[in-house]
Structure 1
Amino acid sequence: MRFFIKHDAYKRLRIHFDMNQMTFREADILQFYLDGIKEISSSKVYERTADAVILYDCDKNKIINALREFNFENVNVPEEILENSGREINSLYQEKLVTKVLVRYTAKIFVPMPIRRAIILAKSLKYIKNGLGCLSKAKIEVPVLDATAIGVSILRSDFETAGSVMFLLGIGEIMEEWTHKKSVDDLAKTMSLNISKAWLLRDGQEVCLPVNEIKEGDLVVVHMGTVIPFDGVVVSGEAVVNQASLTGEAEAVRKAEDSLVYAGTVLEEGEITLRVTKTSGLGKFDQIVKMIEESEKLKSGVESKAEHLADSLVPYSLGATFLTYLLTRNATKALSILMVDFSCAIKLAMPISVLTAIKQGRQNQINIKGGKFLEAVAEANTIVFDKTGTLTKATPTVKSVVSFSGASEDELLRIAACLEEHFPHSMANAVVLAAKLKNLEHEEMHSKVEYIVAHGISSYIGDNKVVIGSYHFVFEDEKCVIPEGKEELFNNLPLEYSHLYMAVNGKLAAVICIEDPVREEAANVINRLKHAGFEKIVMMTGDSYRTAKAIANKVGVTEFYAEVLPEDKARFVEEEKAKHNKVIMVGDGINDSPALSAADVGVAISEGAEIAREIADITISANDLESLVILKNLSNEMMRRISKNYNNIVGFNASLIALGVAGVLQPTTSALLHNISTIAFSLKSMESYLLEEK
């Protein structure tokens, strides 16, 4: 596509495309394309000018060539991204603000005063109606204060003050509505589906395909511990499904033949085959938006308390107004109090503070599902880590396959990969990747695969029973034995690796040695978390005591537990909460999901199991545990910002009231300063958010 370089600085380009302006859809397609170029560190598309600003960290010619290859028709963008872009919302509310300002000042210049008074009188009816409606419910809240201020001004024939109050209230309403819609939209996108592949049932075989190749009417198999990728009807199987992310209900629901299942819900137990009825993710997105709006999930506790306190101050404002009039007999001084309330700024600045923190989190690859979770992180004093894929690297690697059956290492790895690909976990991913790197094809050769949480996998290949998993599962639960004459080989397995055991018909067939090194940054992160206020830092793992102790000593946790089951992790979390500790659980696997759900805040690793990501309240990057320190700092900063905003708003507005009562400020001036301060506090709260949007 034709474009011009408008500005070229070091590692920064401003590009103009050969068109007058872009549609919202075209701008979103270009943004999606630029975001997909890994050498581009950040980019921003401006639809009105058809420009794009690009920051990059590679040779400039590589970016130029990528832009030359760009074409709107050739970029495959998921429809839900295009239909739920915030670009149109921003443009809509910017136009609303500009239109309101233009109409206000055009009217002041060109519309005769009698007509303007009639317009002001008509507009005031909405505010007076809201105030009377509030009183009819025996509530004295902000609408009563607004209605009184506007009504008294009109009764005193001070139409200019009434008009100014309504104009600034209208500006505040637009900004509040804009903030709410943007908050819900951003939060819903954070919670929306992120599923790339699904298991299609074709001719009795399961085939792993990208989700965009699945069509309505196809049969899709959903295994335990995974997210249901589509809306559909169960045609076979039985399962227990967690629908909390969709409906908010705490208890999992049983699903059997003919039951309806929904995209984004999590299959906790069992296995089902569903017939797809809807392939688009939009239904899930829309339902999430509805759930957020109904539950006010975005709000933190301190935010809600501040709002309620602001409303509770309204009766005192009204009382002070009447008392001032009784004592001074000066309507102007009394009216100055009416022109000021605390709630407007608080109700606007507080949600923006939360939104800003959530946006800052996303900039650091931290997805946060609501302000209340940030508040809980700020208050937390206990953090519990799973070991594998969390404190150790997210991508362990297979170092060797030790054969105990006489079969070749490649054949044994092929069988293991065929089983493990159904239940993604960091160890399973290592096996599948090792087979892929060796170009080992593993067509489905087994019967139904049964997954035993935190233990292993059991299935049949022909008439042969195959199990793969932990030592406890293979040797103690399944009673498998070491082949005769192989005891010495078994005793000399390398101790520096984690071991995955595979047995066929009750006999050990292979031990897969997996390197699971500690993350380089883990010890430093643990130390910084201690200084950030965590009193107890715990590691829990299903590995042996020997392995757990070695890892614990390396990273510096305050205590550790080895050979634990999923229910042990969840029980520990509940016990800590019973001691009035605020607990964060960090994990990445299916076996971590009960503890993630039980914790005050569940934090999942982005490349972990789907069920862990879906149940978790916060998801962090798999690349670096530094995200946890950033998360803690973000949470603390959000709480400081909310507290500072509250004190500044109360202090400033109290000063306006005092100056009004003293006769220093006229009611019109008080109203103007109050509403300008509301917008100023809101913009200050939104400062980093606005910088990101530019």
Structure 2
Amino acid sequence: MVSASSAVRRYPLVAATLALGLIGAVLALLGQADAVRWLFSGYGLLIAGIEAVGMVRRLRQGTFGVDLLAIMAIIATVLVGEYVATMIIVLMLTGGAALEDFAVNRAKRELDALLKRAPQIAHRIVAAANGSGAAGAGPGVTDVEDVAATDVRPGDLLLVRPAEIVPVDGELVSDSAAFDESSLTGESLPVERRTGDAILSGSINGQAAATIRATATAADSQYQQIILLVEEAAASKAPVVRLADRYAVPFTAVSLTIAAIAWIVSGDPARFAEVLVVATPCPLLISAPVAFMGGMSRAARNGIIVKGGGVLEMLSRAKTVVFDKTGTLTHGTPAIARVLPELGFDQDELLALAASAEQYSSHVLAASVISAARTRGLELTATEDANEVPAHGVVARLGDREVVVGKLSYVRDHAPEAVATPLDGGELAIYLAVDGRFAGSIVASDKTRGNARQTMADFRALGLHETVMLTGDARPTAEHIAELVGIESVQADCLPVDKVDAVRSLPNRPVIMVGDGVNDAPVLAVADVGIAMGARGATAASESADVVILIDDLSRTARAVAIGQDTIRIALQSIWLGIAMSVVLMVLAAFGFIPATVGALLQEFVDLATILNALRAIGGRRDAAVQAQVAAREPATVGSRAR
């Protein structure tokens, strides 16, 4: 919530207008009408002067808005003595600007979380017993000091503890290690590295400590390059033109033309002022921001944070939607897909044996195997006789049986007849041998989201017919997922900079990009609208995006577009309603039927009508209808999964 004091500091003109209005009301009650007139008129002229300076500045930048008509309306009401109308116009002018500023600038910390997540500390190895410390992260290390990541130099030996972020680019010194690179490359399954392999900064170490040798400084490492990409992408975005400003020139021209004709024909300069009183651009100034605030409120109610009214407008006009794969179209975490026992074993037995042995493994899939066994209610066997060969497998004595779990090559050393399991894209298998006999395999995969295909259909129904996938995964995996969910175009093996270039080159714009990882932060920033699946905690992506989905539900991305389309439609209806009513009043005023005092009052009815119409953007009934449609589809979805 914004406190009253911070609101006053941020919007001083609104606060001053309200304060002076209150003072004027008190003076009027005390019979000081002249004081009220001078107070309101003087303040109105001051605001007109401030707005005039801003208008000139914007004109030099090539932007024309409704400022001119507002300034002339203030001056006209002062000249005809309608000082109450002056204050109302000033309040609408400053209040509308404040509403739009609040809507557009709710989130101006795009890089804060990204910078906070950047590795700050490195564990530098400065001594090792018997020279063995450099070869691994085990007992040989005798002296490790914590230093700032920026102090690391190429050639330094660094200890990366389990589940820690790699601080700088380097090469692996340990025999082997597994790293989660999903936030950098989009690869959902952990990547195993061996001695001499390159390790990227920003990747997350597995469950065993590892030693790396730095090959770059923090400033030259992969993670910092992503931060720079985000900064450049954000800076390259063109500013959004205010919706009301697009109608400013014709509305101003029509108003001044009617006012001038009324003056010339009647010969009375008061007619000019009377026309401008009812031509105040309050419907343009206030209705669009109110509709935007209503649309943003509706989005928040649906678990969608929209960072500004301009974002809603861009969503409403989008033509292309681009998706990352890992964590966006898929869940982003490997799960057991199939248990494939050999003759003599059944699925539950094979899974129970694997999970019992994996209790003593640091492999990244161990947790998935154990979780799957517990989900089936299987009982795990404990043992004191288990030995792990990191990145290869585990040998465990479970009762009177020897169980080997791990890579195919490792299991073949114990059961030569072991054969590879055919895998689809994005799958990984672990193999088992029991008492020297091949027992089968367990396949893990990163499954697609259950509503991904329906979400593609929802986007097409909303008019976004071009769908694209950009991913760091290999092409077979990417094409397999694209076929499952119904995406037309695929670009695989993409680094962050490749994604940025790909989005910039798309012809049908505006372009929406949907992603979730650190590697998506630059492309989310450069897209016309970046949507982050923020529920998984990908803070960097969330902070560089224009829209953040707080619920782990891909369908909310299509709902964000629907809300944007509804909001802009209602905002335009409100603007046209205000313009139509104002034109009618201007014509009546031009013929002398509406004195300035009555015109000011009628103009407030116009403002009220446009505001009430704009408030329809809150959309409670439309949300209820959407929920009913989702509920109606749910039984069919469950049934299809069961098949």
Shorter-chain-normalised TM-score: which range? 0.5 to 0.7
2:448 & 2:562 partners in 1: Cα distance?
Answer: 24
Partner of 2:397: none
Counterpart of 1:410 in structure 2: which amino acid?
Answer: E
2:227 & 2:589 partners in 1: Cα distance?
Answer: 69
Instruction: Give the structure-1-normalised TM-score.
Output: 0.56
Say whether residues 1:172 and 2:92 are aligned partners.
yes
Determine if contact 2:471/2:478 at 8 Å carries over to the other structure: yes
Partner of 2:532: 604
- Tell me how far 1:174 sits from its aligned partner: 4.8
Evaluate the alpha carbon distance shift between residue 195 and residue 429 of structure 1 in structure 2; reply closer, same or farther with a 3 A threshold: farther
Partner of 1:410: 358
RMSD between aligned residues? 5.5
Partner of 2:464: 534
Aligned positions of 1:658-677 closer than 5 A: 658-677=587-606
Counterpart of 2:548 in structure 1: which amino acid?
Answer: T
- Tell me how far 1:636 sits from its aligned partner: 0.8
User: SS of the residue aligned with 1:326?
Assistant: helix
2:121 & 2:605 partners in 1: Cα distance?
Answer: 61
Say whether residues 1:107 and 2:27 are aligned partners.
yes
Determine if contact 2:320/2:465 at 8 Å carries over to the other structure: yes
- Tell me how far 1:657 sits from its aligned partner: 0.5
User: SS of the residue aligned with 1:663?
Assistant: coil
Counterpart of 2:107 in structure 1: which amino acid?
Answer: L
Determine if contact 1:390/1:586 at 8 Å carries over to the other structure: yes
Counterpart of 1:604 in structure 2: which amino acid?
Answer: A
Partner of 2:420: 491
- Tell me how far 1:659 sits from its aligned partner: 0.9
- Tell me how far 1:627 sits from its aligned partner: 0.2
Determine if contact 2:113/2:539 at 8 Å carries over to the other structure: no
Determine if contact 1:311/1:343 at 8 Å carries over to the other structure: no
1:319 & 1:524 partners in 2: Cα distance?
Answer: 52
Partner of 2:515: 587
- Tell me how far 1:634 sits from its aligned partner: 1.0
Partner of 2:448: 518
Match among 655, 676, 681 for residue 610 of structure 2: 681
Determine if contact 1:299/1:372 at 8 Å carries over to the other structure: no
User: SS of the residue aligned with 1:387?
Assistant: coil
Say whether residues 1:361 and 2:290 are aligned partners.
no
- Tell me how far 1:168 sits from its aligned partner: 0.6
Q: Cα deviations across residues 644-670 of structure 1 (Å, max 9, x unaligned)?
A: 122112111111111101222112222
Determine if contact 1:383/1:585 at 8 Å carries over to the other structure: yes
User: SS of the residue aligned with 2:225?
Assistant: strand
1:154 & 1:86 partners in 2: Cα distance?
Answer: 34
Evaluate the alpha carbon distance shift between residue 683 and residue 545 of structure 1 in structure 2; reply closer, same or farther with a 3 A threshold: same
Determine if contact 2:66/2:245 at 8 Å carries over to the other structure: no
- Identity over aligned residues, as a percent? 22
Partner of 2:564: 635
- Tell me how far 1:638 sits from its aligned partner: 2.2
- Tell me how far 1:266 sits from its aligned partner: 6.4
1:256 & 1:202 partners in 2: Cα distance?
Answer: 11
2:565 & 2:510 partners in 1: Cα distance?
Answer: 15
Counterpart of 2:595 in structure 1: which amino acid?
Answer: Q
Determine if contact 1:310/1:342 at 8 Å carries over to the other structure: no
2:447 & 2:570 partners in 1: Cα distance?
Answer: 39
2:374 & 2:544 partners in 1: Cα distance?
Answer: 30
Aligned positions of 1:79-98 closer than 5 A: 85=2
More deviation in 146-155 or 336-345? 146-155
Q: Cα deviations across residues 376-432 of structure 1 (Å, max 9, x unaligned)?
A: 3322232233333222224433579999xx999538841x44xxxxxxxxx999699
Say whether residues 1:347 and 2:285 are aligned partners.
yes
Evaluate the alpha carbon distance shift between residue 394 and residue 624 of structure 1 in structure 2; reply closer, same or farther with a 3 A threshold: farther
Determine if contact 2:566/2:617 at 8 Å carries over to the other structure: no
Determine if contact 1:394/1:622 at 8 Å carries over to the other structure: no
Q: Cα deviations across residues 439-460 of structure 1 (Å, max 9, x unaligned)?
A: 9xxxxxxxxxxxxxxxxxxxxx
Say whether residues 1:373 and 2:287 are aligned partners.
no
1:354 & 1:105 partners in 2: Cα distance?
Answer: 32
Partner of 1:267: 224
User: SS of the residue aligned with 1:499?
Assistant: strand
1:594 & 1:364 partners in 2: Cα distance?
Answer: 26
- Tell me how far 1:594 sits from its aligned partner: 5.5
2:256 & 2:599 partners in 1: Cα distance?
Answer: 16
2:503 & 2:94 partners in 1: Cα distance?
Answer: 43
Counterpart of 1:374 in structure 2: which amino acid?
Answer: L
Aligned positions of 1:241-280 closer than 5 A: 267-268=224-225
Counterpart of 2:577 in structure 1: which amino acid?
Answer: N
Partner of 2:194: none
Partner of 1:625: 554
Determine if contact 1:96/1:174 at 8 Å carries over to the other structure: no
Q: Cα deviations across residues 142-168 of structure 1 (Å, max 9, x unaligned)?
A: 66555555555655xx43x2x122221
Task: Determine which structure has greater relative contact order: mean sequence separation of CA pairs < 8 Å that are 6+ residues apart, divided by chain length.
Answer: 2
Match among 245, 248, 272 for residue 307 of structure 1: 245
Q: Cα deviations across residues 562-615 of structure 1 (Å, max 9, x unaligned)?
A: 66666665554344x1x3444323233345456545543332221164443344
Counterpart of 2:614 in structure 1: which amino acid?
Answer: S
- Gaps in structure 1 of 5+ consecutive residues: 1-83, 206-216, 228-237, 242-254, 272-286, 418-426, 440-460, 469-479, 503-510
